Amino acid sequence: MTKRANWSIPYAIFMVIFVVLPLLLILVYAFQDSSGHFTMANVTRFFSDKDALSTFALSLEVAIENTAICLLLGYPVAYILSNKKLNRASVTIILFIIPMWINALMRTLATASLFQMMGVELGKGTLIFGMVYDYLPFMIYPIYNTLQKLDPSYAEAAEDLGANPFQVFTKVILPLSKPGIVSGIMMVFMPTVSTFAISEFLTNNKIKLFGTIIQDNINNGSTWNYGAALSLFMLVIIGITTWISESGKKEEGGDSLI
């Protein structure tokens, strides 16, 4: 082993203790009963647990809605921010990033208080609002980054070949910003599927998301193993979405995460 390779040892130890080991524990717990014997019961229980299944469906729905709204709001913002003609001050991008500096939990609590103060009933609407508010910067930033690095001569070449401004956008800018869109979707979709704090605060626990169920099962000492199985299931779902979007990104020749 070379000297330089030795430098990675602390990181390797860290990764084993804080990433590999916990993942293995989830795997082990998911296939054990409370007395430590191997069982498939936790996994089969999920597919017969109507409550868990419908919560899971709702989580997916909320995550998809949130991601879609973030994309629809975030893309135009990123486009305007990256366009030097429309955005002359580099400060404006910071205004959109500043919310990321503040802890998401605090922002969520503050949003909930605001709604209560205004007398808005907490429910799905406030949940989606809170999520969009929390995750919008994560959509804007990767798209902004991609658009900003885009060589303006692509747009000029398209215009030169006869594309009007609308066609320049749909045929060149949009396809070339796909890696940013994919990153944005990942960064918004993944955390929203597993969130529980936002739904807890912004719906007053009226709406339960998948993350909430996992949390309930883990907190309630006797159902650890079922909680682990649910976590495993969510990991698989996130893994699949990552794989799909990464393979889409590779086609476009963009940078890849895995």
Partner 1 sequence: MNESDLIIKLEHVSKTFNGVKVLDDVSLDIKKGEFVTLLGPSGCGKTTTLRIIAGFRKPDEGRLFMDGRDISEVPPYRRPLNTVFQRYALFPNLDVFDNVAFGLKLKNTPQEEINKRVKKVLKLVSMSDYEDRDVDSLSGGQQQRVAIARALINQPKVLLLDEPLAALDLKMRKDMQIELKEMHRKLGITFIYVTHDQEEALTLSDTIVVMKEGRIQQIGTPTDIYNEPVNSFVADFIGESNILDATMIEDRKVRFIGQDFDCVDEGFGQNEPVDVVVRPEDIYIVNKLDSVQFTGTVKSCTFKGVHYEMFVNTDNGNELMIQDYNAFEPGSRVGMLIRPNDIQVMRKRCLRNEFEGEMVAADKVEILGGEFSCNAQEGIAEGDKVKVSVEFSKVDLLDNQEDGILTGTVHFILYKGDHYHLEIHVDGGGHIFVDTNDIWDKGDLVGINILPNDILITKGND
Residue 38: strand, helix, or coil: strand
- Nearest approach, Cβ of residue 84 and partner 1 (Å): 13
Query: Over 97-153, what HEC string results?
Result: HHHHHCCHHHHHHHHHHHHHHHCCCCCHHHHHHHHHHHHHHHHHHHHHHHHHHCCHH
Instruction: Say how far apart CA 49 and CA 47 lie, in whole Å.
Output: 6
- Per the CB < 8 A criterion, the answer to whether 249 and 177 are in contact is no
Instruction: Say how far apart CA 200 and CA 192 lie, in whole Å.
Output: 13
Query: Given the structure tokens 């993942």, which residue do they identify?
Result: 23
Question: Quick check: 49 binds partner 1 (CB under 8 A)?
Answer: no
Backbone angles phi, psi at 32, to 5 degrees: -125, 150
Considering only 25-33, 53-61, 67-75, 147-155, which stretch makes contact with partner 1 by CB under 8 A? 147-155
- 35/164 with CB nearer partner 1: 164
- 96/154 with CB nearer partner 1: 154
- 124/178 with CB nearer partner 1: 178
Question: Quick check: 171 binds partner 1 (CB under 8 A)?
Answer: yes
C-alpha distances out from residue 110 to 118, 121, 124, 219, Å = 12, 15, 17, 25
- Nearest approach, Cβ of residue 149 and partner 1 (Å): 12
Count of residues touching partner 1 (by CB under 8 A): 20
Of the candidate residues 48, 151, 221, 255, the single one contacting partner 1 (CB under 8 A)? 151
DSSP designation for 20: I
- Nearest approach, Cβ of residue 252 and partner 1 (Å): 6
Of the candidate residues 52, 78, 158, 229, the single one contacting partner 1 (CB under 8 A)? 158
Backbone angles phi, psi at 129, to 5 degrees: -60, -50
- Per the CB < 8 A criterion, the answer to whether 10 and 209 are in contact is no
E-strand ranges in the chain read: none
- 22/175 with CB nearer partner 1: 175
Considering only 72-80, 83-91, 170-178, 226-234, which stretch makes contact with partner 1 by CB under 8 A? 170-178
Site string for partner 1, 217-256 (x = CB under 8 A): -----------------------------------xx---
**Interacting positions 173-202 with partner 1 (CB under 8 A):** 175-176, 178
Of the candidate residues 4, 119, 160, 258, the single one contacting partner 1 (CB under 8 A)? 160
- Nearest approach, Cβ of residue 177 and partner 1 (Å): 10
How many separate helices (H) and strands (E) can be counted in the chain? 15, 0
Of the candidate residues 19, 161, 244, 257, the single one contacting partner 1 (CB under 8 A)? 161
Which chain residues interact with partner 1 by CB under 8 A? 151, 153-154, 156-164, 167, 171-172, 175-176, 178, 252-253
